Amino acid sequence: MLMQINHIVPIEHIITLSCILFCIGVMGVLLRRNAIIILMCIELMLNAVNILFATFSAYNGNPDGQIFVFFIMVVAAAEVAVGLALLVLIYRNTRSVDVSLLDRLKW
Amino acid sequence: MSVIIVILLTAILVLFLHIFEGRQWVNPLAILGLSLSFIILCLENNSLWGDYSSMIYMTQFAKVFTGTAIIFTILVFFINQSRLKLEEDTNNGDKLGLVLFSLCGAILLFTFTNITMLFLGIEILSIPLYVIASSSKHDLHSNEAGLKYFLMGSFATSIILFGMALIFGATNSLDIMTISEYFSQAEISKMAALGAFFVGIGFFFKVAAIPFHFWTPDVYEGTPSIWATYFATVVKIASFGAFFRLYILLGNVDNSPLYKVLVLIIILTVVVGTLTALVQENAKRMIAYSSIVNSGFLLMFFLNPSSDILSYFGLFILGYGLATIGIFSAIVYLESIGNSNGFEGFDGLGRSQPLFSLGVAICLLSLAGIPLTVGFLGKFYLLMSLSFDQWWMILLVIASSIISIVYYFRIFNGMYFSNKKASAIVAPEVVSPYLNFVVGFCALSLIIIGLFPDFYLNIFQ
Amino acid sequence: MEKYFYLVILFPLIGFLVNGLLGSKMKGTTPGLIGTVAVFIPFLIALGVFFNYGHESQPILQNYFPWINIFDFQANFSILIDPLSLQMTLIITGIGSLIHLYSIGYMHDDEGFARFFSYLNLFIFSMLLLVLGSNLLILFIGWEGVGLCSYLLIGFWYKNEDYGYAARKAFVMNRIGDLGLIAGIVLLWSYFKTIEFQAMAIHAANVDMSDPVIIIATLCLFIGAIGKSAQIPLYTWLPDAMAGPTPVSALIHAATMVTAGIYLLVRAHFLFDLAPSVLNLVSYVGIATSIFAAIIALRQNDIKKVLAYSTVSQLGLMFVALGVGAYTTAMFHVTTHAFFKALLFLGAGSVIHALHGEQDIRNMGGLKNEIKSTYWVFLIGTLAICGIFPLSGMFSKDEILTVLFEKSKGLWALSLFSSLLTAVYMFRLLFLTFFGTYRDDEHKKSKIHESPMVMMAPLWVLAILSVFGGILNLPHLIGGESYGKMAHFLDPIFSHSKLATEHMDAGLEIGLMALVVGLVVIIGFVLYNIYVKKESLPKPDMSLRGVEALVANKFGVDELYDTVISKPVLGISRFFGQKVESAFDGISGFFFVAGFKSIGNSLRKIQNGNVEFYLILMTGSIVVLMILQFLIKI
């Protein structure tokens, strides 16, 4: 068991960090129009979550969280693979990865 | 857990068969594998112990929902079979494999007892769907649907994950029972409440509740109709199955972190969904909005959860799924003879294909909630489950059902009261026996279960 | 006999399935025969049960299978055979089978012959469920089924765009009424914890007068009845429902559908007895509708439209009777009205058939020499509805008026006025159609032909019923010992509602009767003068130069009548017919949909296709919801 180690950094700081990271990710998704950047920002959000899980795991002395992080990483990889494939497909058909141009389906 | 294993093996087999020049056997094999897994599901005794270190637990509720999902998938494959007769599809095996994988994810969502499994279930369900949505490679609509679904879906996943992390931080556990115990305390920490809130938001997205519904109409419209059927039924059931279980565990407390949000979202979903469905010009989009409205109804079951409610919830979603499959098979048929997705496609169908349209009509009547169908019973049970001081919800359900008549009956009107000559619009093409089977199955089940609901409700006991 | 009563419901259903699935493959009139037999056999069964059913018999509850079982709510699929449902069953199947028979002739060359009969059978099936169901839920199923079938039948000739619109309108209007009904059902269940009629009646005995829940619940049921029975403000679908083939109109107006609202109120009378204020409302709505529709009918030139408004008006009278608690009287009028209104509609159908689709009475006239048989039955129908002694309409209407005279002089006067208006528009219709000279070109005249036997036979049966229908419930004064048969038959249901005619001064009763009949006869003569002797025709555009016309015709008494009474009344009629009605139309349905559609159109703009925009909206909603959930305390 990872029992109480004296942590130098207080847990609140790390939570704040990951919240900031998450928000940066969200803002990136909202503000950028390049699909690749959006994909990266989603990854950023996932990484913020990873940090959060790892922190809680370490500070609460429960290894489950760290295992969860591995799952997130695996799934994120799969997601990116699919996402990039989709992007390539779209790029082939439209010669663009700008998501704001995609509005054939509406109303 | 042999059900998941059988489905997984079928999926792998399908993928290999596809490579080794056995294309015409791919679809029958998939149906066979699913039937086998359904039989196994029925024969399997309720395992009183969990599998995989107690991370999966097959309850009776999970069993019924799994069975329903498997049957819906079989029906979707039958619809797919009708398409294969008409066109050569070199990627059919891939698509079927992906659908089967995502079905495994759906089953995880019914059976999870650990947050990890919930997360994996969501992702195993969703990731193949992104690919399937854009499976019509040279169709820009399909591409667009896939990318939109992917962007919004993974965004929602991140939010669910963030919520999960907060819950984990507050409760120091991933086990759903421990978490549930924590949430049943009188006072819960802000962090846990925020976590539950974010997980809830993510699920509102997955079940397509307004204002997180934006993907639904676009994806349903862009995705090839056969797979849109899968989206509208199996995916809906899976998301709702997971959400309902989760809500009972986390949200069903006095100071629920989701109650206010839930009420607001239900109102928005039913009102906006109904009004927008009224003005759709495209049958698939109309069905998409109708599925949003039905999500609103299903969310109403969350307001007063009890053990009885589970079965009524199941009945409602069964009625919705069967009726939707029936209508989608009509859309698939119309597409196969070259009609667009507009309502005009249905014009004169009642005359050129009387039996087929009778089945479709029954599905429509069920969706509109006309008595003697499951749709009516579902709405009736819903009304009965609402308590007296929720009278405005009751009004909402009734008002929405009345308005919904207008848009469901546009198809109905087209089929039976179109003034165009039948032969002029619809080519005298026969409906594929597979489609006939699917529609007949849906219509008959809707009426039989509508007459004898106990038959279905008792399975839950 | 009672054992086989389920066949009554089953036969029409089988007829529907056989005709619906195999009808298109059958030759000739086979589907029509199947449809007719499928309704006629239930009639025979019901007749058998009726004769076995003595005054002392207990209501029979037949339980087929448990249907819904939820919480402590239970609804069985069961039927209740008691005098009320038995009487309704006899009307529905009896008149229904006559209409079926008639339709074989009327629809013989329609391409949707089999489809038509399958819908008709489904209609009868739904209506039977409605009246036989032992609880409110079965009633509701029938209620919805009737709405659905009327939709299918009104839009039967779907090639006409307007007809489809009329069908949708009827359906949506009915659904608005259904909202009331289902709200009432939920309320009653939450109050009584049962929706079985018998159990509710037992519970209701212990409920205080004017209990608020009962008042609201009865109000809801009444809204349902308003929708089905076409009262203000939801009546506008009924005149439009003329779009369907004429037998359908006869079925909707006479035997089924519109009587459903009356039936509901009678069936739930034990609740309405507890809510006197609602009963008052019922009679006010009834009288308003009755006069209103009668005034509109004065001005109509479509033979079916006149009859349609007359139905609305007669239904209004029935509601007035219900409102003062005279349930048997209302049921009596339902029965006689079923006879003569079916007769009139089918007669009108026969006229239309003879004229190859002509419906405008301005293009008719002089038909009594061309189609004698139809003329005679139509005459009988008209005399019956106007209340000429001793035809059936006179007895039922007289009974309503007598009851009203006792309860409220004001309502009596208004109802009298309404029934006199009935005489006016019916005589006008009769004279313009059958008397005078033929007003369309001679070429068409040569083609006029009498309807075939299969159509005339039902008409004569209905004519006989319209003449002798009064025997069913003779007033004490005339019938002597065998008076009030129907009232006695229905008596066990209304254990505490009294017979009005039993303690009425005989002289007064005769006086009232004579007054009504006398006035009707006078009206008949006046109109005969106007329309037959003077051959005055309704002008295409009514010019209201009242004073001028008065001066020009100062010597003619009938012209005086025409100007002083008829013209202003007709002016009002036109005003009601065009302005007020369209307002009702707008209020009660379609502006709603239009309004909703415009809201929907602005809402769908949110779905603009841009995924960026979606994501921003979603994030924004998350923030708003978060503030709502965690920062604002409600």
Query: Any chain C CB within 8 A of the CB of A90?
Result: no
Phi and psi at C63, nearest 5°, equal -105, 120
Which pair of tokens denotes residue A101? 């141009």
Residue ranges in chain A modelled with pLDDT below 50: 1
With beta carbons less than 8 A apart as the criterion, state whether B356 and B333 touch: yes
With beta carbons less than 8 A apart as the criterion, state whether C352 and C454 touch: no
Q: Supply the pLDDT for residue C581.
A: 63
Alpha-carbon B448 to chain mean position: 21
Q: How many other CB atoms are there within 10 angstroms of residue C111's CB atom?
A: 10
Q: Supply the pLDDT for residue C537.
A: 63
Determine, for residues C610 and A102 on separate chains, whether the beta-carbon distance falls below 8 Å. yes
Burial class (CB in 10 A: 0-12, 13-18, 19+), C452: middle
Cis status of the peptide bond prior to B305, with omega within 30 of 0:
no
Set of chain C residues whose Cβ sits within 8 Å of the Cβ of B190 = 630
Set of chain A residues whose Cβ sits within 8 Å of the Cβ of B218 = 105-106
Set of chain B residues whose Cβ sits within 8 Å of the Cβ of A79 = 123, 127, 154, 157
What would the pLDDT profile of C576-616 be if each residue is shown by its tens digit?
A: 666 666 666 555 555 566 777 788 888 888 888 888 889 99
State pTM to two decimals: 0.82
Cα angle for residues C61, C64, C69 (degrees, 5° grid): 100
Q: How many CB pairs under 8 A join A and C?
A: 30
Q: How many helices (H) and strands (E) does chain B have?
A: 21, 0
Which CATH number is A73's domain given?
A: 1.10.287.3510
Q: How many CB pairs under 8 A join B and C?
A: 145
Query: Any chain A CB within 8 A of the CB of B91?
Result: no
Set of chain A residues whose Cβ sits within 8 Å of the Cβ of B144 = 90, 102, 104-105
With beta carbons less than 8 A apart as the criterion, state whether C96 and C124 touch: yes
Chains that touch A (3 or more CB pairs under 8 A): B, C
Alpha-carbon B390 to chain mean position: 26
Least Cα separation, residue C222 to chain B (angstroms): 17
Determine, for residues C611 and A99 on separate chains, whether the beta-carbon distance falls below 8 Å. yes
Domain extents for chain C?
1-274, 279-530
Of the partner residues C604, C609, C615, the one whose CB lies closest to the CB of residue A103: C609
The span from the CA of A29 to the CA of A37, in Å, is: 8
Q: Supply the pLDDT for residue C556.
A: 44
Q: Is C57 helix (H, G, I), strand (E, B) or coil?
A: coil
The span from the CA of B75 to the CA of B435, in Å, is: 9
Q: Which residue of A has its CA nearest to B158?
A: A46
Determine, for residues B417 and C167 on separate chains, whether the beta-carbon distance falls below 8 Å. yes
Which pair of tokens denotes residue B433? 């026996």
With beta carbons less than 8 A apart as the criterion, state whether C135 and C75 touch: yes
Which pair of tokens denotes residue A12? 């609140």
Determine, for residues C168 and B413 on separate chains, whether the beta-carbon distance falls below 8 Å. yes
Compute CA distances C181 → B85, C269, C284, whole Å. 49, 15, 20
What would the pLDDT profile of C290-319 be if each residue is shown by its tens digit?
A: 988 888 887 777 888 888 888 888 999 999
Determine, for residues C609 and A33 on separate chains, whether the beta-carbon distance falls below 8 Å. no
Query: Any chain C CB within 8 A of the CB of B193?
Result: yes
In angstroms, what is the C-alpha Rg of chain A? 18
Which pair of tokens denotes residue B94? 């891939």
Q: Which of C282, C240, C258 is nearest to C588 (CA)?
A: C240
The span from the CA of C360 to the CA of B439, in Å, is: 46
Task: Give me the residues paired with residue B94 across strands.
Answer: none
Determine, for residues A42 and B154 on separate chains, whether the beta-carbon distance falls below 8 Å. yes
What would the pLDDT profile of B362-409 be if each residue is shown by its tens digit?
A: 999 999 888 888 998 898 888 888 877 787 888 888 888 888 888 888
Query: Any chain B CB within 8 A of the CB of A35?
Result: yes
Least Cα separation, residue A8 to chain B (angstroms): 19
Of the partner residues B140, B158, B173, the one whose CB lies closest to the CB of residue A45: B158
The per-residue DSSP string of B298-318 comes to HHHGGGS--HHHHHHHHHHHH
With a CB cutoff of 8 Å and minimum separation 6, the contacts of C536 are C530, C562
Least Cα separation, residue B384 to chain A (angstroms): 35
The span from the CA of B208 to the CA of B240, in Å, is: 10
Q: Is C487 helix (H, G, I), strand (E, B) or coil?
A: helix
The span from the CA of B123 to the CA of C53, in Å, is: 68
Determine, for residues B169 and A56 on separate chains, whether the beta-carbon distance falls below 8 Å. yes
Number of structural domains found in chain A: 1
Residue ranges in chain C modelled with pLDDT below 50: 497-501, 540-558, 561
Interface of B with C in 298-327 (CB under 8 A): 308, 312
Which pair of tokens denotes residue A96? 């663009």
Cα angle for residues A46, A48, A52 (degrees, 5° grid): 115
Least Cα separation, residue B109 to chain A (angstroms): 16
Chains that touch B (3 or more CB pairs under 8 A): A, C
Set of chain A residues whose Cβ sits within 8 Å of the Cβ of C611 = 99-100, 102
Determine, for residues A71 and B130 on separate chains, whether the beta-carbon distance falls below 8 Å. no
The per-residue DSSP string of B213-274 comes to -THHHHHHHHS-HHHHHHIIIIIHHHHHHHHHHHIIIII-STT-SSHHHHHHHHHHHHHHHH
Task: State the DSSP H helix or E strand holding residue C576, giving kind and residue range, or none if neither.
Answer: none
Cis status of the peptide bond prior to B224, with omega within 30 of 0:
no
Compute CA distances C387 → C100, C338, C416, C521, whole Å. 27, 14, 11, 9
Q: How many helices (H) and strands (E) does chain A have?
A: 3, 0
Chains that touch C (3 or more CB pairs under 8 A): A, B
Interface test with A, best of B94, B132, B142, B143 (most A CBs within 10 A): B143
Least Cα separation, residue C162 to chain A (angstroms): 29
Query: Any chain A CB within 8 A of the CB of B144?
Result: yes
With a CB cutoff of 8 Å and minimum separation 6, the contacts of B184 are B253
Interface test with C, best of B278, B312, B372, B408 (most C CBs within 10 A): B278
Query: Any chain C CB within 8 A of the CB of A24?
Result: no
Set of chain B residues whose Cβ sits within 8 Å of the Cβ of A52 = 162, 165-166, 169
Q: Which of C249, C235, C44, C261 is nearest to C139 (CA)?
A: C261
Single-letter residue type at C302: D
With beta carbons less than 8 A apart as the criterion, state whether C523 and C420 touch: yes
The ipTM value here is 0.93
Set of chain B residues whose Cβ sits within 8 Å of the Cβ of C148 = 365, 370
Q: How many CB pairs under 8 A join A and B?
A: 116
Query: Any chain B CB within 8 A of the CB of A56?
Result: yes
pLDDT string in tens for chain B (461-residue length): 788 999 999 999 999 888 887 778 888 999 999 999 999 988 887 665 566 777 888 888 889 999 999 999 999 999 999 888 777 777 888 899 999 999 999 999 999 989 999 999 999 999 999 999 998 888 888 999 999 999 999 999 999 999 999 999 999 999 988 898 888 887 888 888 899 999 999 999 999 998 899 999 999 999 999 999 999 999 999 999 999 988 887 766 666 778 888 999 999 999 999 989 988 888 899 999 999 999 999 999 988 887 778 888 999 999 999 999 999 999 998 888 877 777 788 887 877 787 888 899 999 999 988 888 899 889 888 888 887 778 788 888 888 888 888 888 888 888 877 766 544 554 557 788 899 999 999 999 999 998 888 888 888 87
Burial class (CB in 10 A: 0-12, 13-18, 19+), A49: buried
Least Cα separation, residue B35 to chain C (angstroms): 30
Tokens 């998301």 belong to which residue?
B239
Which pair of tokens denotes residue A58? 């370490």
Handedness of CA C15, C21, C26, C32 (dihedral sign): positive
Q: Supply the pLDDT for residue B401.
A: 86
Of the partner residues B211, B383, B402, the one whose CB lies closest to the CB of residue C621: B211
Q: Which of B354, B303, B150, B135 is nearest to B225 (CA)?
A: B135
Q: Which of B90, B86, B80 is nearest to B18 (CA)?
A: B90
Query: Any chain C CB within 8 A of the CB of B201?
Result: yes
* Structural domain harbouring A19: 12-95
Compute CA distances C534 → C522, C545, C556, C559, C588, whole Å. 17, 19, 11, 9, 41
The per-residue DSSP string of B21-44 comes to T-HHHHHHHHHHHHHHHHHHHHHS
Burial class (CB in 10 A: 0-12, 13-18, 19+), B93: buried
Q: Which of C310, C210, C324, C313 is nearest to C265 (CA)?
A: C324
Domain extents for chain B?
258-461
Least Cα separation, residue C170 to chain A (angstroms): 30
